[in-house]
Amino acid sequence: MDVASILTGLYSEAGRQDPYPYYAALHALGPVAAVPRRGEHRAVSAVAVGYDVVAGVLRDPGFYKQAPPRWQEHEVTRTFQTSMMFVNPPEHTRMRQVFAKAFTPRRLGALEPVVARVVDACLERMAEHGAGGVEVDFVADFAHPVPALVMAEFVGIPATDLTWYRERVDRLDDFLDVAGKTPQRLAAADTAAAELRGFYRDLIAVRRRAPGADLISALVEALDSGGVELTEDELISNLVVLFNASFVTTVYLLSNGLPLLLEHPAVAAALPGDDALAAGSVDEILRLRNPVHFLARAAPHDVDLAGVPVARDENVLLLLAGANRDPVRFPDPDRFDPRRAGPPSLAFGMGLHFCLGAAVSRLEGRLALPRLLARFPGLAVTAPPAYSGSLFLRGIDKLFVTTGG
């Protein structure tokens, strides 16, 4: 199978439901494959699936993110392009330095009891909803509310606004998918971005009058004192993107991870009380079922990637989920092994744009999954999981279970 056929299959409905055979087919072609040109233009000139190539591009500060054409014309792209996740140095460096101060070991330590409290409250709700063998949606009752409530408390978003907030976030995620750049999805994302910006603008005004112990209060204080190189508009853009990136990935860590753990009952039974096994299981879930499947980077000059030439300013599609199953770096790559040795997964990226919320997401997984399995040792999946249908952010949106209680 050639690269064009593989990519066509990957972008199809079948590929969205199960992309891993297509990643394996790309591995058979080598770590990098050239993408044939059709007409005058092509979105990417090469697709990289080899772990070392993908990691090397991500670590290379010369490779950069290209802004979409006419990004200033739309609220959603203006929001993205004025946040650290979508820009390059020096703007990226300036913004990231501000937010990196919020993700300190001290703050993470203070977040641990918050995670435990939220997890235990959600377990109580699951027990109530699942009493008598009634099916419950694991995503609605646990996988979504845990990271949403944790990040809401950390950032400073009222929990009562989370349902409204999620609806807007879903519109942004739809737009980020490969098939998301339709006029309808663009219009919906523009509206959602404008509403979220207004939401944060109002919340910042509230925190100026009555500061709390949350991230927004700390950033507003620093902003008003002139202690950070950040405008209020940039602050709002980064809050929109940061909250979305930090909680959606954790939703899918939990929802993608539960079926995988239940397929390995010895691991699931041993998880409570074994911190090392819990940490290893989270890492292996992220490797095998990572939520973010691809990124793109443009070459700073003509380069050669594993024998494939890439011209200056042409894009390389970096398949993170494929690189995480590279048989060269991960022997028997499709096997779940929570005690696996080897390089770190690329689930949260690498290099300049390594996800700031990675430690928070891992903390939530390490605490939530053992507590879940300790409370419900008879937990069972009762129906095939419903995946998001997105290839960019791939995860289980509905997962019906019985608690066994």
The gap between the terminal CA atoms of the chain, to the nearest Å, is 49
**pLDDT (0 to 100) of residue 77:** 94
pLDDT at 170 over 60: yes
- Which of 233, 404, 351, 327 is closest to 20 using CA atoms? 327
CATH of the domain at 73: 1.10.630.10
Q: Of 330, 346, 362, which marks where a domain is finished?
A: 346
> Please, which residues have CB within 8 angstroms of residue 182's CB and are 6 or more apart in sequence?
none
Query: Is the pLDDT assigned to residue 249 strictly greater than 70?
Result: yes
Q: Inform me whether the pLDDT recorded for 9 exceeds 80.
A: yes
What pLDDT is attached to residue 179? Answer: 67
Domain co-membership, 313 together with 395: no
Q: Measure Cα distances from 346 to 105, 276, 297 in Å.
A: 22, 20, 15
- Averaged pLDDT for residues 94-98: 90
pLDDT recorded at residue 180: 64
Whether residues 155 and 209 share a domain: the answer is yes
**What percent of the chain shows pLDDT beyond 70?**
98
Mind giving me the DSSP string for 357-376? Answer: THHHHHHHHHHHHHHHHHH-
151 and 177 housed in the same domain: yes
pLDDT at site 308: 96
Of the pLDDT bands very low, low, confident and very high (cuts 50, 70, 90), residue 291 is very high
- Say whether both 93 and 167 belong to one domain: yes
Confidence of residue 143 (pLDDT cuts 50, 70, 90): very high
Phi and psi at residue 327, in whole multiples of 5°?
-65, -20
Q: Does the structure show a pLDDT above 80 at 285?
A: yes
Query: Checking DSSP bridges between strand 315-319 and strand 46-48, what pairing results, if any?
Result: parallel
Residue 239: per-residue pLDDT: 94
Contact 195, 209 (CB under 8 A): no
User: What total number of domains does the chain contain?
Assistant: 2
pLDDT tens digit sequence for 354-392: 998 899 999 999 999 999 999 999 999 999 999 988 888
What is each CA distance from 392 to 70, 287, 302, 389, in whole angstroms? 22, 15, 27, 9
Confidence label for 13 from pLDDT (cuts 50, 70 and 90): confident
Residues 27 and 145 in one domain: no
Instruction: Identify the pLDDT of residue 278.
Output: 97
Over residues 307-311, the mean pLDDT reads 95
Q: Do residue 75 and residue 118 come from a single domain?
A: yes
Confidence bin at 42 (pLDDT 50/70/90): low
The reply to whether 78 and 140 lie within a common domain is yes
Angle at 22 between CA 21 and CA 25, to 5 degrees: 90
398 near 139, Cβ under 8 Å? yes
Q: Do 173 and 207 sit in the same domain of this protein?
A: yes
Q: Which long-range contacts (CB under 8 A, 24 or more apart) does 245-248 make?
A: 245/85, 245/355, 245/357, 246/147, 246/151, 246/355, 246/356, 246/357, 246/360, 246/361, 247/147, 247/148, 247/150, 247/151, 248/169, 248/173, 248/291, 248/393, 248/395
| Domain co-membership, 319 together with 187 | no
Site of tokens 């040792």: 377
Closest residue by Cα to residue 30 from 13, 8, 50: 50
For residues 150 and 34, state if they share a domain.
Answer: no
Position 223 confidence tier, pLDDT thresholds 50, 70, 90: confident
Mark whether 192 and 278 lie in a shared domain.
yes
Q: What is the pLDDT of residue 148?
A: 94
Residue 325 sits in a domain of what CATH number? 3.30.43.20
Higher pLDDT, 177 or 72: 72
Name the average pLDDT for the chain.
93
Per-residue pLDDT at 174 = 86
pLDDT score at 198: 97
- Based on the domain organization, do 312 and 392 belong to the same domain? no
Instruction: Name the residue range of residue 178's domain.
Output: 61-292+347-402
Confidence grade of residue 205 (pLDDT, cut at 50, 70, 90): very high
